[in-house]
Each structure stands twice: as structure tokens, then as C-alpha cells.
A and B are shown apart, each in its own frame.
Chain A
Amino acid sequence: MSILVAVRNLTRIFDVSKPWLNRLIERRDKALLTAVNKVDFEIEERTVYGLVGESGSGKSTIGKIIVGLLPPSAGAVEIEGVDLYREEDDAKVDAVRSDIQMIFQDPYASLNPRWKVASIITEPVAARGGDTTDMAEKLLEQVGLSARDAGKYPHEFSGGQRQRICIARALASEPRLIVCDEPTSALDVSVQAQVLNLMSDLQDEFGLTYLFISHDLTVVRHMADKVGVLYLGQLVEEADRDTLFDAPLHPYTQMLLEAAPKLDGFGREATPPEGEIPDPINPPSGCVFHPRCPIAVERCKVDPPELRGVGKTRVACHLAETSRD
């Protein structure tokens, strides 16, 4: 299968320092936050790549960089072989842009409250001067709403219905890649399942590729073919879904899986993750996970581990071979 998205050594640094006058008075240096640190992965066409991590791990930042909302500080994202931020041929950039869409987390903020549903859904096409006759009605029926809803305003819909409208909008420009940034975390559990199943069905029907960003491991397990685990802006482990969930190699992934609620886990006490994510402005030396790691050794405090292949998994841990015990 061909590679649709290639993320190469992607780094994004945010300047979170105070205004220059405050810095001058308080004699402080610039504060830089590395939200994404040398992340490297590929997404194959017609697959779902799940990106998991705690809040602040940089998963949304990666999503925004991929769709072109945020320029990277270093590294590159290539979609269909085109780097949106470096390509100088406008026609190529435009062609790639129309192949990317995004579904956002908050269905209440992602639809313009003053626009009718029909205009919202057809905007990606209308913006390029395409023909939008009957398009909204057709798309609404495809996502399980009624064609008559096209004339309504977003406030007349529930959260789940709004997310269906967002999906319809994402489908309008017939994209190949849809970046889903926590698409169900604002929804009720019962509605989550419906929306996820709809997304799966549409993926088969239109041959879509998803980058599925979530903190919810059960959702990722349900959706993803391949899963990447982020910690403090770094990719610490990546594997096929089954490999990752059955045999996690990185101690952080193991900790996450243990903390996740299990269906067969009645009566068993889950051990909560130990400690907090460290301050990303002053990340720990060596392996960023070592202050929370149960098996850390001296080497982990000084030597940052590289992502390397262990079996079918890519993992960034010095002790990956022994961590399973």
C-alpha cells in the first residue's frame, strides 16, 4: 500500500515567554515549550492511524500541523509527496489542501452558529467555486440525518447530530485524509458508538484515511489499524493495534493500558498512573519518562533513547527487551 502521509522529524516549539518588557524587568530568558519533538511516522492509505497520549502530549499540535493550520518549527509533513509549507507550486498546494479535512473535538464550536447547515456543509466546495446543487441534502442523508435539515441552524441539533454535520462537511470536498481530533470525547457514550460506527462505514465506502487523535484507549482500539503513543511531544512506541494492546513494550504504554478501564475487570483495582506529566518547558534529562518509570536505571537519566525496531514494534526505550517481565 502507498504512503499517504509522511511525518519526518517533526518538531514544533512554542514561545510561551512573557512580553519583552516583563522579561526585561524580571530579567528572565525566553521560555520555549517543545510541544512536538522529532516525531516520525507514516500513515498508509486507507488505514486508520491512532495517536494516543495524555493532555499536553502534543497530539492536537501534530494534527494541526498536518492539516496546515500551524507551521512546523523543524522537520516536515509530506502528504501525497507534497510539503504544504515548502511547496511553491500553488496548484499542488491547493490540490493537496482539498484532499485534507478535519473533524474537531467540540461540535458546539465547530459549526458557525449564524450559518445554515447547507452553507456550512458545502463551504469546502463553494470556497473553490465548485457546484453545490443538492450536495448538502445528499451528504446529510449519507451521515444519517434528513435532507430537510439543510435549512436549519446548528443550534437546532444535539451534540451527536452536530458531529454528523461536521462529518458531512469533512466529506464534501471528497478528501482522502481526515484528521479527527478527539471527535467523540465531547459526546455521550451511547452517541460515541454511533458516530464511530458511522466513521468506520464511511471509511470503507469512500476509501478514506484517518488520523485518529484520542486519549481514549478503548476508542482507539476500536478504530485504529496502527497506533502511536505520544509522551511529552515524543513518539515513544508505535505498533499494529493488536501488537500494541497485547504486548506493549514501553513502560509508559504499559502504564496507560493498566489504567484504562477493562470490560472484564470487575472487582480488580486498576493501578492509577503514577506522577504527573513533567513541565514541558523544562523537560527531564535523558529519557523524558524516567521520573515516572518503574524500571528506570541510571542510563535513562542521561541518555535519551532513540526510536528503534524491536520485533514488529518501534519503541523508544533502552529496556524494551526486558520491560515485559
Chain B
Amino acid sequence: MSALILAWHSDVAWSFRRSPVAVVSLMVVLILVLAAVFAPLIAPYNPFDPASLNLMNGFSKPMEPNAFTGDTFWLGTDDQGRDVFSTILYGMRISLFVGFTAVLFALVLGVTLGLVAGYVGGWTETIIMRIADVQLTFPAILVAMLIFGIAKGVTPVEHRDEVAIWVLIIAIGLSDWVQFARVVRGATLVERNKEYVMAAKLIGRKPGAIMLRHILPNVLSPVLVIATISLALAIIAEATLSFLGVGAPPTQPSLGTLIRIGQGFLFSGEWWIILFPAVTLLVLALSVNLLGDWLRDALNPKLR
């Protein structure tokens, strides 16, 4: 309890309460995340259950009763009669899951490599950071597509749909670790020469313990900022890959898959199939980004 009171009075909380953009963004993100997590409870239909689908409901317009069945769908239906609102909720689940897990993967990988590179130095550092530099010369999406392509080549056809999500996570994570590694290496270079690190060294602490217990806690605040901004980028990267047809399979559609399906109907007048998933993606990515921007300012002592 006292920790909660302390947190409420902390500088970050104070700056949060003074920033309407941050408050609104956090609320939007929370609502979207909760809606995605509880999708099976909230969604009026289960778009993955063929028994609940009625082809006669196909192409229902938003908020209008269907001409054949009389059913009303808030955001309309697609060609197979799937409720767009429900598919968005389920799609957001996959988008957010891929986004969070990919960022977590990139974070663990990047922070570990950055810490080791910064603390150990020498050839270890040169090798890690040159790999990072080389990877930065390719667009992230290209790296992700390359990894995706390799993985697709090595997995048997019947398992492709099962592993697709995990391949997507690894592909996005591997294309994103460089950011974390660079920032953490820079911060580690500063910290490792500070006297508290020497104090730990001289009592015989092992390098692993020094990196984990002493340096890591002191390099985490920039990591938090990058993680937030990376989350928005990862969600967009996932949508891009899925839109290109190399991401989430149609059996587990993410927001990107929905947009890809929707763009086929864009010019035949069924605008709602693409518009609503696209707007959801935009709102999600925008609020996460705004939250990241605020966090960067709030944790930057020079801007206070």
C-alpha cells in the first residue's frame, strides 16, 4: 500500500497526471488491450466457429438489418458473413500478442547482447556491434521477411499454420533487437567505469553478477522507452507482414490479415471490411506511440 502511495507521488506519476495526451493514450491502450484479452466474452460472434456463420449474412452494411436474415451487425460483415467487430477483437488479440512477445524477445536479446558488448568490450563488442550495424543497413521488414521465408522453407506444410505466429514473433524480434543493444551498450559504457562498479569488482563479484545486479537496473529506463515505441513498430510490422501475406495465416487473422482481406472489397463498395480494422490498427499504434513519447520526456531529466 505504501508503495502505491509512493508511486502516486513519484515524479513520473506527477508528469503523467499533468499530461492529458498520456492519460487519454493510456486509457485507449488499456481499453483495447482489455477488449482483446476478453474478446471471447465481449465479441457477439465467434468468427472462428463455422457453426455460428451464416453465408446469407455476407456483406451486411454497418448498423443496418441484413436484407435476408434481418440480423444487425454494428460494423457490418465480410463476404462470408463474419461479424467485422468480432474479427477485429480476435484480430487485435493476435496483433497484440505478436507485438508484445516480439518486443519482449527483442528486449531480452538486445539488452543481453548490449550489456555484454558494453561491459566485456574488445572483440566480443566488435563482433556484436558489427552484426548490429550490418543489420541496420537492411530495412527491418526485409529482415523479417527473410527470416519468415527461411522458416517457411524448413517447416513441413502441415505444421506451417501452427508455427506461423511464432515465426512471426521471432522474425520481428530479430529485426528489432539492434535498437536495444545499441542503447544498452552506450549506457553500459558509462556505468561500467563508475566507482560503484569498481567497489563490486574489488570484493570479487563475478562479471555476470555485476552486469545483472549493478549495471542492468541503471540502464533500464531508456530500455522502457524503446520498448514502448518498439511495441507500436512491432504491431505495424506484424500488420505489414500479414498484409503482404507472409504473416498471420487466414485461420488466425490478425489486424493486418483483416486489412489484406478487406482491400479486395475496397473498390466494390464494401468499405467497412477494410476501414474498421485499419482504424483500429491506427488508433492502437498511435496511442502506444504517444505513450512512448510521453515516457521518453518524463524519464529524461534534462527536459524537466
Contact = CB atoms under 8 A, between A and B. Distances in A.
Interface string A105-125: 110011111110000100110
Query: Which has the most chain B C-beta neighbours within 10 Å: A100, A102, A109, A112?
Result: A112
B122 interface: no
Interface string B202-218: 11110001000010011
A89 to B, nearest CB: 15
Given A102-B198, A105-B195, A111-B196, A97 B203 contact: yes
Contact of B214 (A104, A105, A112): A112
A123 B200 contact: yes
A109 B200 contact: no
B204 A127 contact: yes
Nearest to B220: A114
B166 to A, nearest CB: 34
Contacts of A100: 202
Interface residues of B, number: 15
Contacts of B199: 102, 104, 110, 123, 166, 169
Nearest to A67: B202
B164 to A, nearest CB: 40
A173 B196 contact: no
Query: Which has the most chain A C-beta neighbours within 10 Å: B201, B203, B209, B217?
Result: B203
Contacts of B198: 64, 69, 102, 104, 110
B196 A112 contact: yes
Contacts of B195: 104-106, 109-110
Contacts of B202: 67-69, 97, 100-102
B80 to A, nearest CB: 54
Nearest to A113: B218
B218 A112 contact: yes
Given A109-B194, A112-B196, A114-B218, A127 B201 contact: no
Interface in A238-282: none
Contacts of B194: 109-110
A94 interface: yes
Interface in A148-172: 166, 169
A79 B209 CA distance: 26
Contacts of A120: 196
B196 A94 contact: no
Interface in A212-232: none
A173 B218 contact: no
A124 B201 contact: no
A109 B218 CA distance: 12
Given A64-B198, A94-B204, A123-B203, 20 more contacts: A69-B201, A97-B202, A97-B204, A102-B198, A102-B199, A102-B202, A104-B198, A104-B199, A106-B195, A109-B196, A110-B196, A110-B198, A110-B199, A112-B218, A113-B218, A115-B217, A123-B199, A128-B203, A166-B199, A173-B203
Interface of B: 194-196, 198-205, 209, 214, 217-218
25 contacts: A67-B202, A69-B198, A94-B204, A97-B202, A97-B203, A98-B203, A98-B204, A102-B202, A104-B195, A104-B199, A106-B195, A109-B196, A110-B194, A110-B198, A112-B196, A112-B217, A112-B218, A113-B218, A114-B217, A120-B196, A123-B199, A124-B203, A127-B200, A127-B204, A128-B203
Interface of A: 64, 67-69, 94, 97-98, 100-102, 104-106, 109-115, 120, 123-124, 127-128, 166, 169, 173
**What 6 pairs between A and B have smallest CB-CB spacing?**
A110-B195, A114-B217, A104-B195, A112-B196, A109-B194, A124-B203
